[in-house]
Amino acid sequence: MLSKYRVYCYDQLDSAAITAGSGAVLIGAQSGLFPDMGYAVQGEMGGLWAGEKKVCDGFFFAIDDVPLVTADACEINPAATAFHYRMQSEQLHIVRRQYIPDGVPGCVIELTVENLRSRARMVEVSFTVRTDILTVAAAHGEDGLELGRDVGEYDEKTQAFYARDSRNPWHAVWGADADSRALQADLPGEVYGFGNTLGKGVNGRLFYRLRVAAKGQATMRLFIAGGFSSRSKAEDALAELRARSGEMTAEKQARLEAAMEMSAAVMPDEMLGRCWNWTKIYTDWLTRSLPRGGCALCTDLPEHTALCGEGWARAMGSLLPLGGAKKVQEMLRTLVRISEEAQIAPGRLARSISLSGRVMQVGGPKESALFVALVHQVLLWSGDVQFAQDMLPMTGLCMSYLRRCTRAFNDVRADIIAEVRLALAGQAYILRMTGEDDTACMEALEMLGAAPQETLAADAPVERAAAWHGKQGHVEQMLGCLQKMAKAGLPGLPGALCARDVEPGVLLAARAAAGFIWPMTEDLFGLRPDAGSRTIGFAPHTPIGWDGWSLERTAIGNALVSVKSERISPSSVRYTISVSEPGWQVKAAADGEEAVYAVDGSLELVMGD
């Protein structure tokens, strides 16, 4: 099923290629190369990262002494990235496919050699890894750390190379599957055919032979892993990859197939449809598991090797319409646990967390208000009373902290008043859901007054313009803004949206998706759920020139909701909304009047546009 999301790139191959999992991320170019890239540590942000530790600058192949310098095509799909090389004079076709299995601090490289000759042959493969073991903190001289030169050695018994930073207990390992025995190993001064990248790395090269049948193929698997505190842990990781990499890859494939089935959109504008569906992939690529359990979103790739960070609440919230309510719940539980373990003052939360789970920056009133608002948003999509009860102690502390900071909401700063309004409304909802009194919150909210009518500045960012036009019902103008966002993304990666204010070098920003997802959810598909009351607010639009659209299997509470639009006249559209369980109702304005409709399996409404 994932094959329908596959993208082939033939030009602009100097654009980024990202292969990611919850335990590692591999960043290079669509050419298959690993250029020096990035700004947080100048030229060092590409390569393979395992958690907050960089493992290597990249890896390089030569086939029959011919370096695989630039791919002819790059193939990108949700689970893997592949590079195709036509070796016409050698009559070979090479495919290098790379995966990051879930929870693994390393990558799997599958090398397939196709023999175009009509007789069998032996092919020699050289595989070189250029290490660059570091952390951003050490590269900046922070935390009392200092980078040393990498040292490496080949171990004949385990048929693998091991490397470590000479000043720190950071280890890496690479080798092939158990059936591929190395013919030779060495430590060349330069990567053959490529030269060296920046840094204090070491080159470890392994040679193998593959027998390829006439007009046939042969495949071998290679592995790189790192970030380990000891060599023994590196040996264990390599052994597990050798034993289970096939199983791990299949498990990830199945998980992503299930995720892509959720909130699957079909639109006449193919670019917007691909962007919507690929946003699920990018949020998955940005999700990281923590060593002590739980998960969180990376701020971006590759510049900030940190979790949460700028716009964390908007970034997490954008997962909700994509079927990610349970994942957001896990992220919020993780944030609360880490903040409590760090003994941050009551009502305050971590704003930035390292990939090892250490609090790097503490949030203020704005972050506390956004936390309460996000819990509210999660409850609207999930209706999970137990989650509301679990979060109530922290949301209560956040509201107490906000009350102290604002002199009982009598002195709210202009720059956080919007967030405080959202927090008061959110806490009132949480209190009602858990059977508590919401009077104080509602009184404080009334005292703040209604939010002023939002205006659109001439130089407003395109994501803000999209949201504004959507709220005004200008669906065609909204789509124009979304198309601009889609076109500004990374070449070859549909939906790799970039916010206007991201720093140089940022390829994927977690918060960028929110400006695309919410206008589509609320103002195109028209979904505004309240799962706690089993009610779906429904105010969809079908743009001029569109005959219809569909959104399948959106998770709201325990139900799966599907919506379909079919134009029946220039000004009228038939909408069909289906709900997988009984007891739900839809609140919509049909024939100019708002009404509540019970949904018995499905409901058809004819609405004007």
Number of domains, the chain: 3
CATH of the domain at 546: 2.60.420
Q: Does residue 126 share a domain with residue 84? A: yes
| β-bridge partners, 529 | 536
Query: 339 and 407: one domain?
Result: yes
Q: How does pLDDT run across 321-341, given as a tens digit for each residue? A: 999 999 999 999 999 999 999
Question: How far is the CA of 328 from the CAs of 242, 491, 518, in angstroms?
Answer: 33, 29, 16
Residue 207, domain member (yes or no)? yes
Q: Of 405, 430, 448, which residue sits at a domain end?
A: 448
487 pLDDT band, cuts 50/70/90, is confident
pLDDT in tens, 400-415: 999 999 999 999 999 9
**In this structure, are 198 and 302 located in the same domain?**
no
For the purposes of burial, counting CB atoms within 10 Å of the CB of 598, is it exposed (0-12), middle (13-18) or buried (19 or more)? exposed
Q: Taking residues 373-400, what's their average pLDDT?
A: 98
Q: Which of 110, 113, 301, 64 is nearest to 224 (CA)?
A: 110
Give the number of other CB atoms < 10 A from CB of residue 546: 19
Structure tokens at 329: 């719940």
User: Is residue 556 situated within a structural domain?
Assistant: yes
pLDDT of 607 higher than 90: no
Tell me, yes or no, whether 248 and 333 share the same domain.
no
Is residue 49 pLDDT above 80, yes or no? yes
Shared domain check, 181 and 60? yes
Calculate mean pLDDT across residues 332-357.
96
Structure tokens at 263: 């909130």
Query: Does residue 459 sit within a domain?
Result: no
Best CA proximity match to 478, nearest among 486, 380, 564: 486
- Does residue 365 belong to any structural domain of this protein? yes
Q: Indicate the residue among 448, 473, 502 that finishes a domain.
A: 448
Does the pLDDT of residue 472 top 60, yes or no?
yes
Name every residue whose Cβ is closer than 8 Å to that of residue 32 and which is 6 or more positions away in sequence. 17, 68, 70, 71, 74, 83, 85, 96
Q: Is residue 323 part of a domain?
A: yes
**Over the stretch 52-90, which tens digit does the pLDDT of each residue have?**
999 999 999 999 999 999 999 999 989 999 999 999 999
Residue where one domain finishes, among candidates 448, 476, 502: 448
Q: For residue 278, give both structure tokens.
A: 């690929």
Read off the CATH number of the domain in which 434 is found: 1.50.10.10
- The pLDDT value recorded for residue 505 is 87
Q: Percent of the chain at pLDDT above 90?
A: 84
Is 40 within 8 Å of 505 (Cβ atoms)? Answer: yes
What is the C-alpha to C-alpha distance for residues 415 and 304, in angstroms, rounded to an integer? 25
CA distance 372 to 425: 9
Q: Are residues 151 and 27 part of one domain?
A: yes
CATH number at residue 104: 2.70.98.40
The set of residues, in sequence order, having a beta carbon less than 8 Å from that of 559 and lying 6+ positions away, is: 579, 580, 581, 584
* Closest CA relative to residue 199, chosen from 23, 27, 35: 35
pLDDT for res 54: 96
Phi, psi torsion values for 186, nearest 5 degrees: -150, 175
Would you say residue 145 lies in a domain? yes
Is residue 237 domain-shared with residue 293, that is, in the same domain?
A: no
Residue 443 has pLDDT above 90, yes or no: yes
Instruction: Select from 32, 38, 1, 41 the least CA-distant residue to 14.
Output: 32
Instruction: Give the percent of the chain with pLDDT over 70.
Output: 99
**Does 91 share its domain with 191?**
yes
Give how far Cα 410 sits from Cα of 106, 366, 402, 444, Å: 52, 16, 11, 9
Do the beta carbons of residue 136 and residue 39 sit within 8 Å? no
Higher-scoring residue by pLDDT: 291, 592: 291
So what's the pLDDT on residue 450? 87
Which residue segment(s) compose the domain that 560 sits in? 525-609
The answer to the question of residue 506 being in a domain is no
Pair (199, 339) in one structural domain: no
Asked if residue 485 belongs to a domain, the reply is: no
Whether residues 292 and 253 share a domain: the answer is no
| Helix, strand, coil tally for the chain in percent (to 5) | 30, 35, 35
pLDDT for position 400:
97
Task: Say yes or no: 201 and 301 in one domain.
Answer: no
Half-sphere exposure of 402 (CA within 13 A, CB side): 32
Given this model, what pLDDT does residue 228 score?
Answer: 96
User: Do 53 and 191 have their domain in common?
Assistant: yes
Residue pLDDT, tens place only, 98-139:
999 999 999 999 999 999 999 999 999 999 999 999 999 899
Q: What is the pLDDT of residues 187-208, one digit of tens each?
A: 999 999 999 998 999 999 999 9
